Amino acid sequence: MNLLITILKESLNLKFIFLFFNLIAMAQVDKKSELFKTLKSQDSIIFERAFNKCEVEKLELIIAENIEFYHDINGVQNKEEFINAIKNNLCEKPGTFSRKLIESSLEVHQLKSKDKTYGAIQKGSHDFYRNINNIKEKTGSAQFIHLWVLDHNKWKLKRVLSFDHKNATE
């Protein structure tokens, strides 16, 4: 009898775990929603404007003062270090490096407290390229998770996880 009760409990636990993960997987906002479109636009400011076109000043408006950027190869950076890394590395030779979002990978998950949105998690994958003599070559790919918070009704990037960096040959 004890064995039967144990099996039933384990079965219920597994059902609960699967239900929980299904709810999480389904929790992303609709890709047509205003929140999704807004954060996708913010993503383009970070990468298309600052990373690809070296308009680094655009970052100042959307990055939280206490941002923490966690990179699986280059370690942890604060706001100053993050901006300087773009200025001094990527923008030394503008147009040499670029990043392209894998559109189908982008997800946004809303964060609420007492039915009021206070933030969102954005995650996705992207590819990196090097352009030499007008020849664009894929150099690698990675995944990212961004924590966005609403600060005085403006979206600010507060935490970044940049991970699973792979060379194009991997």
The residue ranges of every structural domain in the chain are: 38-167
Residue 142 near residue 170 (C-beta atoms within 8 A): no
| CA separation, residue 135 to residues 60, 138, 141 (Å) | 31, 10, 18
Average pLDDT score over residue span 55-73: 94
More confident residue, 15 or 43: 43
| Tally of CB atoms within 10 A around 137 | 10
DSSP-derived letter for residue 103 is G
Query: Which of 80-90 are b and which e, b meaning 16 or more Cβ less than 10 Å from the residue's Cβ?
Result: eebbeeeeeeb
**Token duo for residue 35:** 């929140």
Give me the pLDDT at residue 20, please: 43
DSSP-derived letter for residue 96 is S
- Of the pLDDT bands very low, low, confident and very high (cuts 50, 70, 90), residue 73 is very high
More confident residue, 162 or 13: 162
pLDDT surpassing 60 at residue 8: no
pTM for the full predicted model: 0.81
User: So what CATH class is 38-167?
Assistant: alpha beta
- Of the pLDDT bands very low, low, confident and very high (cuts 50, 70, 90), residue 19 is very low
Give me the pLDDT at residue 94, please: 85
- Of the pLDDT bands very low, low, confident and very high (cuts 50, 70, 90), residue 117 is very high
Give me the pLDDT at residue 7, please: 55
Average pLDDT score over residue span 111-135: 95
